[in-house]
Amino acid sequence: MNTNIKSTSFGHIAAFFTIVIWGTTFIATKVLLRVLTPVEILFCRFFLGYLILWLVTPKGLRLDNRRQEFYFMAAGLLGVTLYFLLENFALTLTLAANVGVIIAIAPFFTALFDYFFLHGERPGPRFFIGFIVAITGICLISFRGDNTVQLNPAGDLLAITAAVVWAGYSTFTKKISSFGYGTILTTRRIFFYGLLFMVPALFIFGFHLDLSVFIEFKNLANILFLGFGASALCFVTWNLAVKLLGPVKTSVYIYMVPVITVVTSVIILHEHITLPAILGIGLTIAGLFLSESRLNFKRQKIVNEKEKLRS
């Protein structure tokens, strides 16, 4: 198998694996919110994630150029601190369904950022058609059953800002991947700055962590899942996917988060799945494949042309 095809396939596997884990974190977070505040959960999961990455790769990261530090600082601020704070505040001001749909527009902003700032491929019609199809499916999933569409300007605006912030994070991680450092080392450095920028928020929102809550196995298991799985492992696999696929193709997998959430709810929480949700899942997956194919077809065409020239 061609090396490029191998790396691309591995990139898709890494992105899908990450989304499967991130799509199930709501269960762990929901359990922990009984005993911890959102800021306490956020700090604990990333501090634990940072420690795990340090244990896995204890050596330091020496930068070839001190100017590269700016990209790590920006990625930590955007992808760790601001994104999760904005998302958490949005959830307190608007419907969870609204946030789920709005966050899913992140691939749209990622495509624009990649084109304008990284001189990436210009988004074509397939990408935008796939985006519309996926968002339609996500709306059916999010506003199923008794849920109704209800606009909450402040919360919805925060959710939009979070989507833009995540697109910025994906753009910076793509730039960081071009420096040639190891994915674990770069992710750990991003976590460091994320935690550093998080410190002021701890004082503002009242951080009073009671470690005795982790005596209960359920709480300990969930924070370990968030710290090791959703933070340390998944940020590494996500950043690896961005390195192999690029920020646009990787971000499209965000469409799958509501799908994974619904499937997990059915399997673990034994919730009933509705017809609109089934239709929404189908449209979301179709939109993902349609958006992904815009690059696959063009790339395959280039490969075929090169092979013809060689023969």
Tens digits of residue pLDDT in 38-80: 889 999 999 999 999 999 999 889 999 999 999 999 999 999 9
Query: Can you read off the two tokens belonging to residue 134?
Result: 């996926």
Alpha-carbon distance of 147 to 125, in angstroms, equals: 32
pLDDT for 205 equals 82
pLDDT for 144 equals 61
SS3 label, residue 144: coil
Alpha-carbon distance of 113 to 194, in angstroms, equals: 21
pLDDT tens track for 227-281: 999 999 999 999 999 999 999 889 999 988 888 878 877 787 677 777 888 898 8
pLDDT for 305 equals 47
pLDDT for 307 equals 43
SS3 label, residue 149: coil
Are the CB atoms for 198 and 84 separated by under 8 Å? no
Query: Can you read off the two tokens belonging to residue 29?
Result: 């977070």
The larger pLDDT score, comparing residue 278 to residue 95, is at 278
Alpha-carbon distance of 127 to 283, in angstroms, equals: 14
The set of residues, in sequence order, having a beta carbon less than 8 Å from that of 290 and lying 6+ positions away, is 126, 129, 130, 133
Q: Where are the beta strands (DSSP E) in the chain?
A: none
pLDDT tens track for 150-189: 667 888 899 899 999 999 999 999 999 999 999 999 999 9
Alpha-carbon distance of 111 to 246, in angstroms, equals: 10
Of the pLDDT bands very low, low, confident and very high (cuts 50, 70, 90), residue 304 is very low
pLDDT-wise least confident of 67-76, 94-103, 124-133: 94-103
What ranges do the domains of the chain cover?
1-309
pLDDT for 258 equals 82
pLDDT for 270 equals 74
Alpha helices in 143-233 (DSSP H): 153-177, 183-204, 217-224
Average pLDDT, rounded, for the chain: 85
Distances (CA, A) of 298 to 68, 120, 274, 285, 295: 32, 13, 37, 21, 5
Residue 1 has pLDDT above 60, yes or no: no
Distances (CA, A) of 165 to 50, 123, 162: 21, 19, 5
Q: Is the pTM of this model over 0.85?
A: no
> Which residue from 86, 76, 85, 79 is spatially nearest to 197, judged by alpha carbons?
76
Share of the chain above pLDDT 90, in %: 45
Query: Can you read off the two tokens belonging to residue 88?
Result: 């958490």
pLDDT for 290 equals 86
